């Protein structure tokens, strides 16, 4: 079986919190609601958009939730059109991806982003060709449902015992555990390391290079 390392995107590969917060604040304002604090918005990064909005506005009626979701997409596209969307790679990520590739790992992404958003992000950083499987919210239930990981493994010809799921939130760790793969948390994202460990992470990387070190111990 092939060895597969699946990465979350927002908070793991790239730092996109400012864009997400701005778009969410815009959508809530257009819906006549007070926007949640940014600390709370960061907490839902990683969920599919509708589920994230629902968590931030739990008392909203379905029609309003749908409006907020649509307004978020419009706001994000507006930011991108103005050249204001910045999603920088975290320091060390490009090198970690290259090292894993060199070591024979197949790479994938499992993200709450849309197909369009993910494609734009990966192409912008010139890393799209690194990944053999891309799973997004457009085609799967929201994390922590294991659907994205299961499809990624099928695409890559990998098994649970040869697969890592690498992410910064408890949603990523829960998804990994649900799919019975090795769960690797990262400490530079939007949920604390202690929370990732409590959710069942097998390991938490302090810097991207730690992922490479851990993967070398797994791939024997």
pLDDT per position as a tens digit, 96-117: 999 999 999 999 999 999 999 9
pLDDT at 219 over 90: no
Vertex 13: Cα angle to 155 and 134 (nearest 5): 20
Position 170 scores a pLDDT of 97
pLDDT digit string, tens, across residues 132-151: 999 999 999 999 999 999 99
Position 84 scores a pLDDT of 60
Position 186 scores a pLDDT of 98
DSSP of 167-219: ESSHHHHHHHHHTTSEEEEETTSSS-HHHHHHHT-SEEESSHHHHHHHHHHH-
Percent of the chain clearing pLDDT 70 (strictly above): 98
Highest mean pLDDT among 21-25, 75-79, 209-213: 209-213
Domain spans of the chain, in order of start: 2-15+88-218, 17-81
| Average of per-residue pLDDT across 201-217 | 97
Position 199 scores a pLDDT of 97
Tell me yes or no: is domain 17-81 CATH 1.10.150.
yes
Q: Which CATH number fits domain 2-15+88-218: 3.40.50.20, 3.40.50.1000, 2.60.40.10, 2.30.40.10?
A: 3.40.50.1000
Residue-wise burial string across 97-123, b where 16 or more C-beta atoms lie within 10 A, e elsewhere:
bebbeeeebbbbbbbbbbeebbebbbe
Position 220 scores a pLDDT of 59
């Amino acid at each position: 079986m092939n060895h597969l390392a699946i990465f979350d995107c927002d908070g793991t590969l790239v730092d996109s919190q400012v864009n997400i917060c701005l778009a969410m604040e815009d959508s809530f304002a257009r819906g006549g609601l007070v926007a949640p604090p940014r600390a709370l918005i960061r907490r839902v990064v990683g969920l599919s958009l509708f589920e994230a909005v629902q968590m931030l506005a739990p008392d909203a009626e379905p029609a309003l939730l749908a409006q907020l979701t649509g307004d978020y997409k419009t706001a994000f596209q507006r930011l991108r059109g103005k050249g204001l969307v910045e999603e920088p790679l975290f320091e060390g990520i490009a090198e970690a991806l290259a090292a894993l590739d060199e070591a024979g790992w197949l790479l994938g992404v499992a993200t709450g982003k849309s197909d369009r958003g993910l494609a734009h992000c990966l192409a912008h950083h010139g890393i799209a060709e690194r990944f053999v499987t891309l799973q997004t919210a457009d085609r799967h239930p929201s994390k922590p449902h294991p659907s994205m990981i299961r499809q990624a493994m099928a695409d890559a010809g990998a098994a649970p015992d040869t697969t890592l799921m690498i992410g910064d939130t408890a949603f990523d760790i829960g998804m990994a555990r649900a799919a019975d793969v090795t769960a690797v948390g990262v400490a530079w994202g939007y949920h604390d390391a202690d929370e990732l460990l409590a959710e069942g992470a097998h390991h938490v990387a302090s810097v991207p290079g730690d992922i490479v070190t851990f993967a070398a111990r797994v791939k024997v």
